[in-house]
Structure 1
Amino acid sequence: MAPNKSKSTVDGHCLSKGHIKKKQVYESNEQAKKQLTISTVNAAFESKKEVIEDLIEAFSHANIPLEKVNHLLPFFKKYLKEGGAIPQAPILRQVHLPRVFNKYSSSLQTYFNQKPVAIIIDETTDDCSQSVVNTFFAFRQHTKLVSVDFLECVNNSTMGGTLLSILPNFNISYTLPRLFLSDSAAYMKKCFQEALKPIMPQLIHLPCYAHIINLIGDTWRTLSDFSLLKTFLSKIKETFVYALARKEFVQNLKFFQQQNKPVFPFVEGRLEQITSYLEGNPFNSAYKKFEVHIPQHPACPLFRASHIFDPLYIKMEIQIEDTSRNNIHRYSVITEFGNPSDELLREWAIYCGSVGEIVEKNIDLNLYWVGMQKFLPILSSIALDYIWLPVSSCSVER
């Protein structure tokens, strides 16, 4: 207490408006400093966390094991602003990787939520010879790995059960998937017929065409014309791969290995080319394999129907006066065309009537249907779903 000041004087000062105002200003400033300090700390923490998580994503995209980060830590500390915040590999794996994985998994669940996906599934083995089942979902331009499962026993039952357990995780009802892609193994065909088809009757099986074309192409290895080359150049694989007769099949194989391109409506035309090529050349052994696998392929009706999403195909049919091709009910293998609404029928009529105005000889199907969304919203949505359907299961093996 100040000398010569009575207690009443001090009390009066403390209760004065001036003192109270100054006290409020002081307390407000102190609180602001505390909040600023907390905000600064939180911002710094979030910045460091972002650097770490972005680093994990970058390593994952580049297929670099997290163990390699230990060798880069001195470089990070020297040249990066937040380099000192990056921990060693064990901390990255145990603390930060699960967070990055959960974030990515949530983004997949959001994207594929209630979408009519195409399913790509295949079984392989890891470095320890353990069976691994990779499952991809494809919707329009995006094909993503959604599940990796390790199975002790691989058969039609376990493969079907694995897939049926994955769909609910993405809020995909069993009425939505359109296409099921796999290899041509007997147990995969049985999986489709006995495990999947009874639950998803709308599902169409597409045994991988790339595998089939490769099988047909391998017949050139046994031709007597190549016996001399096989004797002297047995270790030079390119001699057979690029032989004139085999080269045609290499080009066809490349077509069915395309990814992220809207080529589904062109599959039927490509198969017709292969048929003509084999029929017009004395390749009996190859044609026999072709007859076994291609004409009765379970996805052929869908390939033929999806051709209608190429406006140049519709234009050609109109020019040759084959108006029956304009009947939408002919393409009921496309689920939405089985019982079309009045609005869809109206849009279909507009579409068929507008293709005659097209002057281009080649059309980017994606750009065409994206541009038609304003005028034909229902039909465009259906077309974009189907033109982006995958044509092979090569994505899984890669």
Structure 2
Amino acid sequence: MCAHILNLIGDTWRTLPQFRILKDFLDKVKEIFVSSPARRGRYITHLKMHGILSPCKIPLYNKTHWNSWFRMVSYTKDHIIYWPSFFKAELDNDKKHNTLAIINSCLQNEQELGLIIIYLNFISFYASEFIQCLDFFQKIKKPVIPFAELRLQQLTAYIETYRNSNDFGPSLENLIIQHRFNTHEIYSVFRMAFEVAYDKFTAHIPNHPARSLFFSCQAFDPKFIHFEDALRKNIQQYNAVKEFENPSDELLREWGIYCGLNNELIGEVELDKYWLNKATQLPILSNLALDYIWLPISSCTVERSFSMYNSLLDSDRQNLSLDSLKRLSMLYFNGV
């Protein structure tokens, strides 16, 4: 659910008409590097000649993975200072190359280059929150569902803050002034990007059926329960966990013990280890927690499993038994 919405937001930012000049520019850059491995080598040499001791190649984006486009944006922000001289030299060696001519023209045009630099810096900084959230919702080897609700609340506040903002930080403001653009006009583009994100987010997230489960699974985070708010200790708040809807007397007894364990929480809490250690003291609650904290919060694992089956069931392995397929799937999926 959440990973899908974040993908929609990211893809919309990538294709927003106001960012078209940047998108077209990066499309051209990708084109000339994909078509020429030799050019990629010359580019690395160019960076070394300009004092970069361990240069990295450009992370060319994949259209089906929007976050790879943002990685390319971030890389470009840090390296575009070296590009005018590189692409000019490339064009001098191949004057009939139309794509190189377009890139070089853009880099030599003070106004176009300035706008690209402004957008690079805006997207690199303000899209990082979406990318971090996407990484969070795609985790498969850590129990994260008790933290999903807080993450969504933080993301909601982040989007709402900037959709009506007149302040995007002194660095961007100075950059806009330096390149002689109108701050109010550029800020309207920034707000438009956040307005698009807000529309996508609010259309799907607030009333999604899984939202109540995200809220209820916070009950298995001891730091959430032991926060200085007595209302959080009311088990009836978490009735999306079906066992809490009509709890047994023994479960209520364990819940009371759990809510009184304030003094033992020091530093970070690893939820799986915490609940494994509570198996003797709180057996019912521990079993419940160890089921719920490992619930997947996106379809990423399912999608990965289908891709993995394509590798397992190739033309040379059509006679695998069901048991062998299960065992191989477990090994491949868990990286054993």
Once the two structures are TM-superposed, the CA of residue 273 in structure 1 deviates from its matched residue by 1.3
Once the two structures are TM-superposed, the CA of residue 228 in structure 1 deviates from its matched residue by 2.4
Q: How does 1:109-124 map to 2 (within 5 A)?
A: none
Task: Please give the per-residue CA displacement for 1:376-398, whole angstroms capped at 9, x wherever unaligned.
Answer: 00111111111011111111221
- Give the TM-score, by structure 1 length: 0.45
Cα distance in 1 for residues equivalent to 2:133 and 2:202: 16
- Determine the structure 1 residue equivalent to 2:149: 268
1:349 equivalent in alignment to 2:256: yes
Closer/same/farther in 2, CA of residues 396 and 239 from structure 1, 3 Å limit: closer
Cα distance in 1 for residues equivalent to 2:289 and 2:298: 19
Number of matched pairs: 186
- Determine the structure 1 residue equivalent to 2:196: 285
1:339 equivalent in alignment to 2:250: no
Once the two structures are TM-superposed, the CA of residue 226 in structure 1 deviates from its matched residue by 2.6
- Determine the structure 2 residue equivalent to 1:255: 136
Of all paired residues, the percent bearing the same amino acid is 53
- Determine the structure 1 residue equivalent to 2:187: none
1:390 to 287, 296, 303: 296
Q: How does 1:217-228 map to 2 (within 5 A)?
A: 217-224=10-17, 226-228=19-21
Cα distance in 2 for residues equivalent to 1:301 and 1:294: 11
Q: Which has the higher helix share?
A: 2
- Determine the structure 2 residue equivalent to 1:328: 235
Secondary structure of the corresponding residue to residue 266 of structure 2: coil
- Determine the structure 2 residue equivalent to 1:310: 221
Q: Is the 8 A contact 1:262 1:387 kept in 2?
A: yes
Task: Please give the per-residue CA displacement for 1:257-307, whole angstroms capped at 9, x wherever unaligned.
Answer: 111321110100110111011011121011000000110111111110110
Secondary structure of the corresponding residue to residue 302 of structure 1: helix
Secondary structure of the corresponding residue to residue 233 of structure 1: helix
Q: Is the 8 A contact 2:233 2:259 kept in 1?
A: yes
- Determine the structure 2 residue equivalent to 1:182: none
Report the AA paired with residue 363 of structure 1. Answer: V
Closer/same/farther in 2, CA of residues 230 and 312 from structure 1, 3 Å limit: same
- Determine the structure 1 residue equivalent to 2:9: 216
Cα distance in 1 for residues equivalent to 2:271 and 2:254: 17
Cα distance in 2 for residues equivalent to 1:350 and 1:240: 47
Q: Is the 8 A contact 1:369 1:380 kept in 2?
A: yes
Once the two structures are TM-superposed, the CA of residue 239 in structure 1 deviates from its matched residue by 5.1
| Structure 2 gap ranges (5+) | 31-59, 62-67, 75-122, 164-193, 305-336
- Give the TM-score, by structure 2 length: 0.53
Cα distance in 1 for residues equivalent to 2:272 and 2:14: 39
2:273 to 339, 344, 367: 367
Q: How does 1:44-63 map to 2 (within 5 A)?
A: none
Once the two structures are TM-superposed, the CA of residue 324 in structure 1 deviates from its matched residue by 2.2
Q: Is the 8 A contact 1:220 1:240 kept in 2?
A: no
- Determine the structure 2 residue equivalent to 1:298: 209
Secondary structure of the corresponding residue to residue 281 of structure 1: helix
Q: Is the 8 A contact 2:14 2:69 kept in 1?
A: no
Secondary structure of the corresponding residue to residue 351 of structure 1: helix
Q: Is the 8 A contact 2:15 2:23 kept in 1?
A: no
Once the two structures are TM-superposed, the CA of residue 332 in structure 1 deviates from its matched residue by 1.5
Once the two structures are TM-superposed, the CA of residue 225 in structure 1 deviates from its matched residue by 5.1
Once the two structures are TM-superposed, the CA of residue 224 in structure 1 deviates from its matched residue by 4.9
| Structure 1 gap ranges (5+) | 1-207
Once the two structures are TM-superposed, the CA of residue 358 in structure 1 deviates from its matched residue by 2.8
